[in-house]
A and B are shown apart, each in its own frame.
Chain A
């Protein structure tokens, strides 16, 4: 489903190279965990997948279902099924959450040649998804993410993911800022979406999240490269021994 080939990318503003020859393959139905120390390029990778303009790919390619996505803008990537759950979801004053959800769902439907959702059907879906994440529907009447707590923002991200039904879900440090109860709710939300035709890229600093969202593969990112891949036992190994050993091995 996702194939990243020898990717090199830098920050447009100052030319700093962050991703330095990253290769990674994620198959449909797979949950791949990306782990790595701070500054290894984890969040950058998620932004590049979503198409953020602050980064420039200088070499290599990203293939999604066999097609390069490098020429696509963020909206085109999203409508093709790529979803990024942000580490720090943006607060957008003046845009009502409900209105935003409706626009996003219908824009994606439009791009796929589907009819816009009728209001009752839209409301039914939102209510159902909110209930499954223990979210108060009243919160959705507020402007997007404005005044939401850290945990509420993360839940709102998973809510959007549920409603938009993407094929490739990139979760950027979804566990950060969550207490254990919220972590469980969010993880259950993610697990409920696991499907043979859907892949997950779970970016995290800690093994904790992976107890709840059990990965099929684990990849260690360091200095913009995948330096080691393995199964879920790799995550446990990292938790026990830290990154130093793996980094030493690779060097």
Chain B
């Protein structure tokens, strides 16, 4: 006889499974969507991932997720001004999209709840694999979001800001964006809120031939929130994606990035800043697949660790057998400012092609004493001098973005963080 023993469920697992039962009748979706939801909750019933699952080794979700809040759709929350002035704002408030959609030339926007109801989004509710806990959680509970379609050749003068805000409770949001051939756009994904929240948010981006997109994720959840996010992108032929991720909040954060180059000449740039403070845990996990020849990628992650914060960066680059002439470079640099903080870096290169240039590097440093002395020798007091140097360490990455307005907006966010945590 084959006995399969299930470990006892944690309170969080139980709460999620119970919540699914309670919410089921309220969740939008046709038959196909509901089948995907059933599969997803089955995956959760098998238990949240532990450190024994390789991709979750540094973030034992089962142990770290120790409370799951209720749904609280009535809590008051408002959209805020976009970080780049003049952006078109698409706000999801407490998990609910707005019925009033902005009119943006060359862009079609739909509420995701509608696409769930009519089932047209069902094929997009795919799972990345058996360890895809965030995908499963989101698929089970997702109720809304926006579907954004940018027409072929459209050139957006101003960014679109996708604002996901909540006032505590659970929210599960999905943001699929299709960018047509030759189109250009800047998209800001802004994640913030208040209270003890559990947020799952999945962004899915498809870039058509020759499209160019800058996507900025600005995550500023409160230190009481669990933020589980995925960013998935397919980069088509000669298309270019610059992804910028800034984590500056949250109690338990996991930002997964899954990118695939699907056409020759595809180019991917990832720049990330993790500003970690307090007793928090932040994990950025990237899986990048170079599947076709002649594609390039560079990744630079900069981390500032203070207090008792723990950070993780896992960067996995898979170069498939036919992906000759791949050029991939990855770096992760950490400034460790406290004895109680920690940062774990795990770069992985899996290369099946034989004609590629791939490399990675990781450093952990403290503030350079020579630099500190130099600034102080000009009359800058120690605290201010340290602040300048820490800011410089991360600002370098921001300044690589060539759009002045965006650089200024992100540096303002950086200043916000330093005012609170400096």
Contact = CB atoms under 8 A, between A and B. Distances in A.
A52 interface: yes
B9 interface: no
B380 A104 contact: yes
A100 B377 CA distance: 12
Contact of B374 (A83, A92, A93, A103): A92
Nearest to A78: B379
B396 interface: yes
A50 interface: yes
A53 B370 contact: no
A94 interface: yes
B373 interface: yes
A108 B369 contact: no
A86 B374 contact: yes
B376 A75 contact: yes
Contacts of A52: 373
Given A92-B371, A93-B396, A94-B395, A75 B382 contact: yes
Contact-residue size bin, chain A (C-beta under 8 Å from the other chain): 20 to 34
Contact of A94 (B373, B376, B392): B392
A209 to B, nearest CB: 21
A251 interface: no
A20 B5 CA distance: 76
By secondary structure, the B interface counts as helix
B393 interface: yes
Given A95-B389, A103-B384, A89 B378 contact: no
A77 B376 CA distance: 9
Contacts of B369: 53
A84 interface: yes
A92 B389 contact: yes
Contacts of A186: none
A94 B377 contact: no
B378 A104 contact: yes
A161 to B, nearest CB: 10
Given A53-B369, A90-B370, A107-B381, A78 B376 contact: yes
Contacts of B374: 86, 89-90, 92
A75 B385 contact: yes
Contact of B384 (A73, A93, A107, A160): A107
B379 A94 contact: no
A102 to B, nearest CB: 11
Given A94-B391, A95-B392, A100 B379 contact: no
A108 B375 CA distance: 12
A36 interface: no
Given A75-B385, A95-B389, A103-B384, A90 B379 contact: no
A55 B377 CA distance: 15
Contacts of B35: none
Contact of A164 (B379, B382, B393): B379
A215 interface: no
Contacts of A51: 376-377
B388 interface: yes
A74 B391 contact: no
Contacts of A104: 375, 378-380
Interface string A87-111: 0011011110000100110011001
Contacts of A229: none
A203 B381 CA distance: 26
A18 B160 CA distance: 62
A92 B373 CA distance: 11
Contacts of B371: 90, 92
Contact of A78 (B377, B388, B395): B377
A84 B377 contact: yes
A92 B377 contact: no
A83 B385 CA distance: 17
Interface string B399-419: 100000000000000000000
Interface string A180-217: 00000000000000000000000000000000000000
Given A53-B373, A100-B375, A94 B381 contact: no
Nearest to B393: A94
Contacts of A93: 392, 396
Contact of B380 (A75, A86, A90): A75
B381 A75 contact: yes
Given A90-B371, A93-B396, A74 B389 contact: no
Contact of B388 (A50, A103, A160, A164): A103
A40 interface: no
Contacts of A53: 369, 373
Interface in B341-399: 369-371, 373-382, 384-385, 388-389, 391-396, 399
A83 B374 CA distance: 11
A132 interface: no
Contacts of A77: 377
Given A75-B385, A103-B384, 20 more contacts: A51-B376, A52-B373, A53-B369, A53-B373, A74-B373, A74-B377, A75-B376, A75-B377, A79-B379, A83-B377, A92-B375, A92-B392, A94-B393, A94-B394, A94-B399, A95-B392, A100-B388, A107-B379, A107-B381, A164-B378
Q: Which 3 A-B pairs have the closest CB atoms?
A: A94-B392, A78-B379, A74-B376
16 contacts: A51-B376, A73-B382, A74-B376, A75-B377, A75-B380, A86-B374, A89-B374, A90-B370, A92-B375, A94-B391, A94-B394, A104-B378, A104-B379, A107-B381, A108-B379, A160-B378
Interface of B: 369-371, 373-382, 384-385, 388-389, 391-396, 399
